[in-house]
Amino acid sequence: MAEEDEILMEVEAVEAVYGDDCIVLNRFPPHLHLHLKPRTADVDSQQFVEATIELRAGPQYPSDPPYVGIIGSKGLDEERQMHLSNSLHDKAQELTSCLMLVALCEDAVEILTSMNHPEGDCPLCLYPLVPEDSHSEVQPFMKLMSCFHCFHCECIVRWLTWIQKQNEASSGTSNTLSSDVDEENVLASGKLYLRKIMGSTAGNCPVCRKVFLAKDIEHVLNLVGSHNADSDVYEKELVEKVLQCDLETTRRQEFEAILKLQQQCGGLIEPPKNNVLYSRISVQDLVREANEMMNVEASEQQHTNQIVREEPESSSSSNQASRRACDARTRHRRGHTGIAEPASGVPPTGSTSGHRRHSGTRKHGKNQSRWQAKPCPKE
C-alpha cells in the first residue's frame, strides 16, 4: 500500500532528524516518543526547558490527526505545558490529511525555543529570575544541569562561597567565618572555589538536594560578570572572538592560498633569506621542522596543533610537512597582533575550521608575489 510506505518513510525521516531523541514504539501506525529541546545551538547549559512528547497515530492517519501529548517536561510550569500541548493539538488539526509528524516536532521545538527561560523567582533571593516588566535589568541566571533548578548566577555563587567558608572553618584552615564574607569578593572567590573542587562533589541543589558536580555549574563562570572574571576564562573568550573575526578569516584564507600554491609547485617555496620578520622562529627552523616531519610522520600524533588535523585531505608526507611549516607561521603571525594566548594554547574550534577550508582564490601569481613581498603583514 503506497500510503503505508509513505508513512513508514515519514517515521524514518523523524528518526533521521531527531536521532537518539526519537524512540519509535511502533512504525505503523506510527507511535513515537520525542525528547525535544529548544534551539540553542546545542549549548545545553542554555536550555532552561525541555519536553518529551508522544505522537500516536491511528490506522486512519493522516486523515485523522495523531494524538499529541506531553509525557514529561522540565522547567515548564502547568501553564506553559498547557500552551505547548494546545498549540500542538491545534497544529495537528490544521494539518489534517498531511503527513505531519516532522512538522509537529518542529513546531514543538519552535514553541520550546520561544519559552526558553526559567519561570518564577530565584529560590535564593526570591526575586524574579526574569523580570516581569521589561524595564528592569535582567540579572544573569543559570540552571543546574542535573535538575533544571534555576538561580541567579550571583546567588548560587555566593552560596557556594559560603559552603566553602564553612568547610574551611570546620577543617580549621581558616578562622574567618561568617564575619568576613566580603560581598565584593564573593564572586571571585566562588570561582576559585569551583576551580579547586572541579571534578569532586560540589554540593546539593538548594531546592531538591540533588547532588551536582562542579562541572555541572562550570557554565556559570562564563555568565557571571565577565569583566572581572578570572583571566583564564576571559582570555579564552577573547581568543575565541579573535579567532572568528573577519581579519583572522581573511588571513587564514591567504595562508590557504599559499599552501595550495606550495602543494601545486610540489613542495615548499622558500621565503627570501633576508626575511627579518620572524623573530622567534627562523626560516631555517621551519625548514628543519619540515624535514623532521617528513622523516617522522608518526610524531604527527603528538602534535596538538589541530589545524593540521582538521584537514584530512592529503596524506602525502611532503604536504604535511609544508603544512606544518605553514602552521608554525600562522601561530607566529598571530603573535604579532598581540593576541593573548593562554599558556595551554587554545586550538581553533570546530566552527573556525570552516573558514580554513580553502574557498577559491587560486591566483597563483598574485599570491606568490604577495608571499614574497609581505610574508607577515602587520595589521
Partner 1 sequence: MTTSSTQTRKALSKIAQLRLQKELEEWHDPPVGFKHKVSDNLQRWTIEVSGAPGTLYANETYQLQVDFPEHYPMEAPQVIFVPPAPAHPHIYSNGHICLDILYDSWSPAMTVSSICISILSMLSSSTSKQRPPDNDLYVNKCRNGRSPKETRWWFHDDKV
What is the 3 state secondary structure string of 182-196?
A: CCCCHHHHHHHHHHH
d(CA 217, CA 215): 5
Among 181, 223, 233, 283, binds partner 1 (CB under 8 A): 181
User: Does 159 contact partner 1 by CB under 8 A?
Assistant: yes
- Cell numbers 489534517 label which residue? 96
For residue 293, give the nearest of 262, 324, 267 by alpha carbon: 324
| Residue 31, helix vs strand vs coil | strand
Rg (CA), the chain: 28
Nearest distance in Å: CB 57, partner 1: 43
147 binds partner 1 (CB under 8 A): no
Q: Which of 18, 28, 67, 162: binder of partner 1 (CB under 8 A)? A: 162
Q: Interaction with partner 1 in 321-340: which residues (CB under 8 A)?
A: none
Rounded Cα distance between 285 and 82, Å, is: 67
Kindly tell me which residue out of 29, 206, 335, 342 binds partner 1, with binding defined by CB under 8 A: 206
Query: Contact between 267 and partner 1 (CB under 8 A)?
Result: no
Q: Which residue's entry shows cell 580549621?
A: 172
Single out the segment in contact with partner 1 by CB under 8 A; choices: 93-101, 125-133, 137-145, 247-255: 125-133
The 8-class DSSP code of residue 64 comes to S
Q: Report the residue from 93, 171, 178, 200 that binds partner 1 according to the rule CB under 8 A.
A: 178
Judged by CB under 8 A, which of 23, 103, 115, 207 binds partner 1?
207
Stretch that binds partner 1, among 134-142, 157-165, 358-366, 368-376 (CB under 8 A): 157-165
Residue whose CB is less far from partner 1, 68 or 144: 144
What long-range pairs does 207-215 form, CB within 8 A, spacing at least 24? 207/123, 207/147, 207/149, 208/147, 208/149, 210/144, 210/146, 210/147, 211/146, 212/144, 212/145, 212/146, 212/147
Q: What are phi and psi of 211, to 5 degrees?
A: -70, 135
| 302: contact with partner 1 by CB under 8 A | no
Out of 135, 209, 227, 280, the only residue in the binding site for partner 1 (CB under 8 A) is: 209
User: Which range in 2-10, 112-120, 174-182, 275-283 contacts partner 1 by CB under 8 A?
Assistant: 174-182
Min dist CB 122 to partner 1, Å, is 9
Return residues touching partner 1 (CB under 8 A).
123-127, 158-159, 162, 178-179, 181, 183, 204, 206-207, 209
